[in-house]
């Protein structure tokens, strides 16, 4: 029973016209599911938000999933849909979509293409380009910059590596409104880590790709009368 597998239909936010099918062990954790989706499609693990759709009843289950839960915890069955939302605006999957020819191709032909060595090599090249764009974007963010995170106004209060949270660069922001999680101090595995200081309930720590530079106010000092 531990080896029981199921096949899920994958609906990806960046591939709206295509459907993928991936087999998973029923006892696979959500973390393992994300890793397999990453290998198969390209989205980075930390950029994915997952939901499960019970196709038999057309109802969403697992709308709030943590990485330690398993597919079996949600009663997942063959044929259910896994809805993958890639939240990274610089994701390799978006690059693939933007650079792909705009013509119709059958799902079967697309899956065959997506598993070919040539496509894998091409996708690796696209991933490299996406990583360069992410690095450039990350370098452009500085402390005290005004940004928006998921449409919410914020100011950058911290930028740097936080080993306790995972590899790579993190950005600490102070939201204009009380929509944050803390005051700049995060707790990871019982360890409190102070990254910055702000009003309680206004702080959050996110990946750089979630920070979009806020539009700069036009300097109209040299403009004529309006």
Matching residue, tokens 């991933």: 127
Average pLDDT over residues 142-167: 91
Query: Cα–Cα distance between 81 and 59 in angstroms, integer?
Result: 10
How does DSSP assign 5-56, residue by residue? EEEEEEEETT-TT--EEEEEETT-BHHHHHHHHHHHH---GGGEEEEEEETT
Could you tell me if 125 and 190 lie in one domain? no
Q: Does 14 share its domain with 121?
A: yes
pLDDT digits (tens, 9 = 90+) for 164-189: 888 888 999 999 999 998 999 998 87
Pairing of strands 166-175, 203-206: antiparallel
pLDDT of 1 > 50? The answer is no
pLDDT tens-digit readout, 7-65: 999 988 888 777 788 999 999 999 999 988 887 777 888 888 899 999 888 888 876 68
Distance CA 201, CA 198 (A): 8
- pLDDT tens figures, 95-111: 555 544 444 444 555 55
Identify the domain boundary among 133, 158, 183.
133
Residue that the structure tokens 């764009």 belong to: 133
**What integer pLDDT is reported at residue 70 of this predicted model?**
92
pLDDT for 150 equals 82
Residue 141 lies in a domain: no
Quote the mean pLDDT of the chain.
80
Domain CATH for 102: 3.10.20.90
| 204 falls within a domain | yes
- Lowest-confidence segment of 49-63, 99-113, 123-137, 206-220 by average pLDDT: 99-113
Look up tokens 């940004």; give the residue: 147
Q: Tens digit of pLDDT for each residue in 68-102?
A: 899 999 999 999 999 998 887 777 666 555 544 44
- Let me know whether 109 and 178 are in one domain: no
In a domain, residue 111? The reply is yes
Q: Which residues pair with 7 in a beta bridge?
A: 23
Backbone angles phi, psi at 91, to 5 degrees: -60, 150
> Can you give the CATH number for the domain in which 163 is found?
2.30.30.190
The domain of 206 spans: 146-213
- Domain count of the fold of the chain: 2
């Amino acid at each position: 029973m531990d080896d029981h597998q199921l096949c899920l239909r994958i609906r990806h936010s960046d591939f709206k016209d295509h459907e993928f099918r991936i087999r998973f062990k029923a006892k696979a954790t959500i973390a393992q599911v994300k890793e397999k989706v990453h290998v198969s499609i390209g989205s980075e693990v930390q950029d994915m938000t997952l939901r499960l759709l019970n196709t038999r009843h057309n109802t969403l289950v697992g709308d709030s999933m943590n990485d330690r839960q398993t597919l079996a915890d949600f009663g997942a069955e063959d044929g259910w849909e896994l809805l993958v939302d890639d939240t990274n605006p610089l994701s390799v999957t978006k690059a693939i979509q933007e650079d792909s020819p705009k013509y119709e191709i059958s799902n079967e032909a697309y899956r065959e293409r997506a598993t070919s060595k040539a496509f894998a090599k091409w996708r690796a090249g696209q991933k490299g380009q996406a990583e360069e764009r992410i690095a450039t974007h990350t370098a452009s963010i500085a402390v005290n910059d005004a940004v928006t995170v998921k449409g919410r106004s914020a100011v950058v209060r911290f930028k740097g590596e936080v080993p306790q949270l995972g590899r790579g660069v993190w950005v600490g922001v102070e939201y204009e409104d009380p929509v944050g999680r803390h005051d700049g101090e995060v707790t990871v595995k019982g360890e409190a880590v102070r990254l910055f200081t702000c009003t309680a309930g206004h702080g959050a720590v996110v990946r750089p790709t979630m920070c979009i530079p806020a539009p700069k106010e036009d300097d109209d000092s040299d403009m004529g009368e309006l």
